[in-house]
Structures are given as structure tokens and as C-alpha cells.
């Protein structure tokens, strides 16, 4: 089930303004920033060398800083998201549908980070 969810979030048929390589880059960033290097490697391996945000055609400078700030905040400080954060995305032409797609991706990867961390703790790791 988790693999099906991953496929639908990371490689959906209707991806809006976030093509698969951008989704992989964001997933990689979320996992790496959470300290889950193995999960980050999973995203890197699954998507080859296309996980680097700087290589993406879709990420423009104005969108880049707004998008990255939102992703980092939503992934690691979800409770701190406010309406202004959404308005900033809309101000750089991210549609409501794409905001929903982005939030689905962030939520799924954050869930995976928690699962991986929990499994590691259950197996005696730190």
C-alpha cells in the first residue's frame, strides 16, 4: 500500500506544475533535511540524477525561494503554517490545485520519514 501511495504522489499522471523530477528533488530534500539519509538515497536512486532542484526546468528563481521555504516549513514545522504561507505560493503563480499536490507530497514524505525513524528505533537503532 505504501508503494502505491508513493507512486501516486511522486509519479502521478496529472502532476500539474510539479513534474516527477521536481517531486523527487523535493522528496530528497525533505528526507535529507530530516536526517534520513537512506530514505534520501532511495529518492536519489529511484529518480537517477534528476533529483537536483537546480537542474529542473520548472523552478525559477522567484518560485524557488518561496517553494523551498514552504516545503521546509511544512515538512518540519507543520503547525507553524499560516494563511500567509499559502498566499506567498499563490503570489508566485502556484495554483490552488498545485498547492494541494505539493501538500500531499510533503505529507507523504514526512510520513515516510516517521515510519523509517520508527522502524529504526524498534530495531534498536538511534
Q: How many CB atoms lie within 10 A of CB 50?
A: 15
- Confidence (pTM): 0.84
Mean local confidence (pLDDT), 106-112: 94
User: Is 1.10.3470 the CATH classification of the domain at 2-115?
Assistant: no
Q: Maximum Cα–Cα distance for the chain, whole Å?
A: 46
Mean local confidence (pLDDT), 98-112: 95
In the predicted model, what is the mean pLDDT of the chain? 85
Distance from chain centroid for Cα 5 = 14
At residue 30, the pLDDT reads: 92
Report d(CA 72, CA 78) in Å as an integer. 9
Q: List pLDDT tens digits, range 11-70.
A: 888 999 998 888 888 898 899 999 999 998 888 876 665 555 555 444 555 567 899 999
**Torsion over CA of 13, 41, 31 and 114, rounded to 10 degrees?**
90
Q: What angle do CA 59, 60, 65 make, to 5 degrees?
A: 85
Amino acid at each position: 500500500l505504501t508503494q502505491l501511495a508513493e507512486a501516486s504522489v511522486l509519479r502521478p499522471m496529472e502532476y500539474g506544475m510539479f513534474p516527477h523530477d521536481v517531486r523527487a528533488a523535493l522528496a530528497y530534500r525533505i528526507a535529507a533535511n530530516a536526517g534520513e539519509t537512506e530514505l534520501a538515497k532511495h529518492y536519489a536512486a529511484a529518480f537517477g540524477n534528476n533529483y537536483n532542484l537546480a537542474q529542473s526546468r520548472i523552478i525559477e528563481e522567484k518560485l524557488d525561494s518561496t517553494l523551498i521555504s514552504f516545503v521546509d516549513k511544512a515538512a518540519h514545522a507543520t503547525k507553524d503554517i499560516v494563511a500567509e504561507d499559502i498566499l506567498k505560493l499563490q503570489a508566485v503563480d502556484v495554483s490552488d490545485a498545485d498547492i494541494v499536490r505539493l501538500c500531499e507530497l510533503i505529507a507523504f514524505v514526512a510520513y515516510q520519514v516517521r515510519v523509517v525513524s520508527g522502524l529504526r528505533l524498534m530495531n534498536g537503532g538511534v
